[in-house]
Amino acid sequence: MKPIHANLLLAAAVMLALAGCASKKPAAGDGAAIEERGASSGSATDGKSSGAGKDDVVSRSLGDDGDGSGDVAGAPSARQIFFDLDQYTVKPEYQGVVQATADFLKSKPKVRVIIQGNTDERGSREYNLSLGQKRAEAVRKALGVLGIGEDRIESVSFGEEKPMSECHDESCWAKNRRADIVYQAR
């Protein structure tokens, strides 16, 4: 098979896999979490309002089963792990974020997480999807080492599609090379 055909097949497979991961917006009260983006929400990393609009990520619970074990309230506020250029190793300074996530998940057996891998805009679409997946998988594996079952962790790649910052220099690219942790009630 020619390399171009293999790349097209890989791209098609990745697109189909991502389409299969798409989810409907849950109805209020069904116990699921929603990721909100908006100018009025606070930053997921520092809790301060930046007014930056789509740069802010917040996850909230829409319901609970009554015993609190499915409620995402009280989840750690640090929900992002940043990576170096072309890297997918969780750096030591983010081990605390991974540990806090694992501790919270252990205390809330009905909560699960989606790890969303992201990249900056440089590189091909296929390369960025692959790198974003490797970043999400690295965080998933780190949580697994800390005792969190694979059935409670989903890893997906958005590649360059969900930038935190849209300027075209290193200060923005560094913000876009990340994995976001999104909590969901089961």
Residue 109's pLDDT is 95
Evaluate whether residue 47 is within a structural domain: no
Residue 43's pLDDT is 34
Evaluate whether residue 148 is within a structural domain: yes
User: Which of 36, 32, 35, 34 minimizes the C-alpha distance to 65?
Assistant: 32
Structural tokens at position 57: 């990520």
Evaluate whether residue 150 is within a structural domain: yes
Evaluate whether residue 52 is within a structural domain: no
Evaluate whether residue 159 is within a structural domain: yes
CA distance 117 to 115: 6
Evaluate whether residue 138 is within a structural domain: yes
Residue 115's pLDDT is 98
Residue 15's pLDDT is 52
Would you give the DSSP letter of residue 36?
A: E
Residue 186's pLDDT is 77
CA distance 23 to 2: 34
- Could you give the number of structural domains in the chain? 1
Residue 119's pLDDT is 97
Structural domain range at position 67: 62-185
Evaluate whether residue 45 is within a structural domain: no
Residue 63's pLDDT is 38
Query: Residue 140: which CATH number?
Result: 3.30.1330.60
Evaluate whether residue 139 is within a structural domain: yes
Q: What is the pLDDT along the chain (186 residues), one digit of tens a residue?
A: 555 555 555 555 555 454 444 443 333 333 333 333 333 333 333 333 333 333 333 333 333 444 445 678 889 999 999 999 999 999 999 999 999 999 999 999 999 999 999 999 999 999 999 999 999 999 999 999 999 999 999 999 999 999 999 999 998 999 999 999 999 987
Q: Which residues pair with 49 in a beta bridge?
A: none
